[in-house]
Amino acid sequence: MPAGQRVIVWFRNDLRIADNPALTAAIATGLPVVGVYLHEGPSGLRPIGSAARWWLHESLHALGRDLASLGIRLKAEAGSAGTVLPHLVEQEGAGAVFWNRRYAPAAREVDAAIKEDLRRDGIEAASFPGSVLVEPFDIATGEGRPYSVFTPFWRALRQRDIARPASRPPAVGPALEPETSPDRYDLPRWAEKLPSHWQVGEAAAMQTLHDFLEQTVARYPDGRDLPGRELTSKLSPHLRFGEISPRQVWHAALAHGAHTADGEAIEKFLSEVAWRDFSYHLLFRRPDIATVSMQSRFDAIAWRTDRAALTAWQRGETGIPIVDAGMRQLWETGWMHNRVRMLAASLLAKNLLIDWREGEQWFWDTLVDADEASNPASWQWVAGCGADAAPYFRIFNPITQGEKFDPEGNYVRRWVPELSPLPDKWLHRPSEAPREVLEAAGIRLGQTYPRQLVDLAVTRRQALEALAQG
């Protein structure tokens, strides 16, 4: 048991009270517990994006209320963890600091230095596994090497006995009046629309999981590719901030599958959850995957600098309806359907030959679920330079993909309403539509809707030539 009078729980990407190993361990000491969240200053860590800043703001308020119900205060501070934490230890008379582990190289360096400093000062410092199904250093190939391909990683993970999640811990004292966590960020004005699209916090995360399993998962294997229908889990931002743990998702899904006829759908869903673990597996062992290609041979690619094309892509004005729909959905809601993320990323990195890092940074700033592992790993996968990369010669055609996965045009018509009057036959091909069809729909290309930014066939050939030289 710690020698001090209190235990500090340092919250990071684990903003929940159930299945939170660090919090559970702190409460088990029998000592008073203080929760702390640090808005960490420059220390090699990647600054959080704008949309995620809004989510964090809301999630900390929810966590503060939940902790207060257990008799625990949540303090929000700003600054370097190496400076702020020792000050808080002294201020609170704490004998221990507990936290759940992070896996990015820069974050691990920060945590290791803090652990060493605290222990040198006689303070107990302990870290726990709370953010992944299997820790990156605890799973390897038969030769003891890290996995670089998802399928064998998934097979190995599926055979593991994933630890069961811990339940909500007991209160440590009378319920407190929740304190308002101080705001440490200037939130962008465009984030003001996000509350109309999301419920934030641990309770919302658990409800989202429940609703998905009870109402949607049976249609997930095929439906997850249809952006015009609400058939995905929408759990990604809750997982990103740790409002729900992957172990909670894993075991709830298994329990549902065991008592229903949805077993096949559950397996598909679990494999997608495992992609998140695989991304952290990659993040753990490599340089900053948001800036360094996992396959070094692609470092020599001569990416194009085209600010006008990049801006058109960001604004959803490429003249390719399903890509424009996705980019507008992103700007409005802070989220984009995964199938459309792949199409938007492929257009930018391959047809436009604009550096994938430009797109990754845009997603990082505008996605509420911008995850330090999944976001860059997915961009590298699409760009063809990732560890488990789609072959560089796989280039999505967003027009035929739109026709395949949004055949009735529900998605495009929702997010690109100026195209709504077009018949289904031409909805995904307005630049090819006959003049009389466009006139009947009241569409003037280049005025009411952009002309197609690039010729997909020509730019595909150019991309293949450039990427082959990588």
Tell me which residue range forms the domain holding 55.
Answer: 6-130
Residue 261 lies in a domain: yes
Of 134, 98, 81, nearest in space to 14 by CA: 98
Residue 373 lies in a domain: yes
Is residue 85 domain-shared with residue 143, that is, in the same domain? no
Is residue 22 domain-shared with residue 72, that is, in the same domain? yes
Whether 222 has a pLDDT exceeding 70, the answer reads yes
Q: What is the pLDDT of residue 296?
A: 84
Mean pLDDT, the chain, rounded, equals 94
Catalytic pick from 99, 356, 364, 381?
A: 356
Q: What is the pLDDT of residue 344?
A: 98
Is residue 344 domain-shared with residue 462, that is, in the same domain? yes
Active site residue 356: yes
Residue 391: pLDDT band by 50, 70, 90 thresholds? low
Where does a domain end: 244, 262, 285?
A: 285
Residue 191: pLDDT band by 50, 70, 90 thresholds? confident
Q: What is the pLDDT of residue 184?
A: 52
Is residue 350 domain-shared with residue 453, that is, in the same domain? yes
Where does a domain end: 77, 105, 130?
A: 130
Catalytic pick from 190, 338, 403, 418?
A: 338
Q: What is the pLDDT of residue 190?
A: 83
Tens digits of per-residue pLDDT, 60-73? 999 999 999 999 99
Q: What is the pLDDT of residue 299?
A: 83
Active site residue 54: no
Is residue 322 domain-shared with residue 418, that is, in the same domain? yes
Active site residue 99: no
Of 16, 11, 29, 14, nearest in space to 96 by CA: 29
Alpha carbon 169 to chain centroid distance? 27
Q: What is the pLDDT of residue 195?
A: 94
Tens digits of per-residue pLDDT, 420-461? 999 999 999 999 999 999 999 999 999 999 999 999 999 999
Catalytic pick from 135, 179, 190, 303?
A: 303
Whether 124 has a pLDDT exceeding 90, the answer reads yes
Active site residue 410: no
**Which CATH number fits the domain that encloses residue 214?**
1.25.40.80
Catalytic pick from 179, 267, 272, 418?
A: 272
Q: How many domains does the chain have?
A: 3
Can you tell me the mean pLDDT for 335-347? 98
Tens digits of per-residue pLDDT, 135-178? 999 999 999 999 999 999 999 999 999 999 999 999 999 999 88
Q: What is the pLDDT of residue 390?
A: 60
6 CB-near residues (< 8 Å, 6+ apart): 31, 32, 33, 34, 92, 93, 94, 95
Q: What is the pLDDT of residue 2?
A: 62
Residue 181: pLDDT band by 50, 70, 90 thresholds? low
Q: What is the pLDDT of residue 348?
A: 97
**Which CATH number fits the domain that encloses residue 311?**
1.10.579.10
Tens digits of per-residue pLDDT, 8-50? 999 999 999 999 999 999 999 999 999 999 999 777 789 999 9
Where does a domain end: 285, 318, 349?
A: 285
Q: What is the pLDDT of residue 160?
A: 96
Is residue 125 domain-shared with residue 145, that is, in the same domain? no
Q: Of 80-84, 104-108, 138-142, 284-288, give the lowest mean pLDDT range.
A: 284-288
Is residue 272 domain-shared with residue 313, that is, in the same domain? no
Give CA–CA dist 88/77, Å, rounded.
9
pTM of the model: 0.96
Is residue 84 domain-shared with residue 150, that is, in the same domain? no
Can you tell me the mean pLDDT for 222-226? 96
Is residue 341 domain-shared with residue 271, that is, in the same domain? no
Is residue 141 domain-shared with residue 26, that is, in the same domain? no
Residue 291 lies in a domain: no
Catalytic pick from 10, 275, 381, 415?
A: 275
Active site residue 154: no
Whether 183 has a pLDDT exceeding 80, the answer reads no
Can you tell me the mean pLDDT for 83-88? 95
Whether 180 has a pLDDT exceeding 90, the answer reads no
Q: What is the pLDDT of residue 394?
A: 81
Catalytic pick from 54, 198, 364, 379?
A: 379
Tens digits of per-residue pLDDT, 229-279? 999 999 999 999 999 999 999 999 999 999 999 999 999 999 999 999 999
Whether 1 has a pLDDT exceeding 60, the answer reads no
